[in-house]
Amino acid sequence: MRIDGRDHDEMRPVKITKNYLKSPEGSVLIEVGDTRVICTAHVEEKVPMFLKDTAQGWLTAEYSMLPGAGNTRINREVSRGKVSGRTAEIQRFIGRSLRSVVDRSCFPRMTITVDCDVIQADGGTRTASLTGAYVAVEMALQKMLREKKIKRNPCTEMIAAVSVGILKGSALLDLCYKEDFNIDVDMNVVMTASGSFVEIQGTAEGNSYTKEELDKMLELSRKGIMELIAIQEECLR
């Protein structure tokens, strides 16, 4: 029995609210249990230097936690003048995963910037961010299609992400903060609707894990991601 009464393979309640903000091309509020993230997608007519004069657009992601999101006040990163290593890692994780399912040759000279702002954090903020960000990006792409800015939808597959872990020998799906805090192995999995992996990040802080444990975690993640993709589809319909 888990700390919040869930089964080992049970997700927390997930809710995605579309059009959470007026201006961005795509925006959602995603709630996974008490974790709440605002995800937006903006489209701008520019590309970074390294894509100048190529036939590729760009997609990048930024991530931040509000000062009130955690258990104690989180200092703003601007007060240190730069993002932390953790933030940099998460931003790269989100951007890289989304780029895997988006054909950037469909939107040359354009950049889609995804922003994930965590209003409240209760574990799994990076996977919730990616899951919500996918919907925001898809909304932005559909808007570009309607406005004839692109000819076809660059999105090749739906993706979602979930955290899994090993706690005292048991594999658990969708860790909340208290579980994450004590976990032996912590893994973030990004998977497409067709069941292929896009990214696996499995970390054993002070520990290691066997191939069997890995396989158990990957199986759980598949279950969770399929549920998340169903919710994304529902929301986008």
Residues that bind its own copies (CB under 8 A): 21-24, 27, 34, 38, 40, 42, 44, 62, 64, 66-73, 76-78, 81-86, 88-89, 91-92, 96, 99-101, 113, 115, 117, 119-120, 157, 187, 191-192, 194-211, 214, 218
4 or 89: whose CB is closer to its own copies? Answer: 89
For the record, the structure tokens of 38 come out as: 């605002």
Cβ proximity to its own copies, 7 vs 210, nearer residue: 210
- Which is it for strands 58-65 and 111-120: parallel, antiparallel or unpaired? parallel
- Which residues neighbour 4 within 8 Å (Cβ) at sequence distance 6 or greater? 12, 33, 176
Comparison of 85 and 237: residue with beta carbon closer to its own copies: 85
Output the smallest distance, CB 231 to its own copies, in A: 20
What secondary structure does DSSP assign to 78-146, as a single string? Answer: GGTTS--HHHHHHHHHHHHHHHTTB-GGGSTT-EEEEEEEEEE-SS-HHHHHHHHHHHHHHHHHHHHHH
* Radius of gyration in angstroms for the set of CA atoms belonging to the chain, rounded to a whole number: 18
Is 71 or 237 the residue whose CB approaches its own copies more closely? 71
CB of 131 to its own copies, least distance (A): 16
CB of 153 to its own copies, least distance (A): 16
CB of 201 to its own copies, least distance (A): 6
To its own copies, the closest distance from the beta carbon of 24 in angstroms equals 4
Greatest CA separation found in the chain?
56
Complex with its own copies: residue 21 or 170, whichever CB lies closer: 21
Count other C-beta atoms under 10 Å from residue 208's C-beta.
8
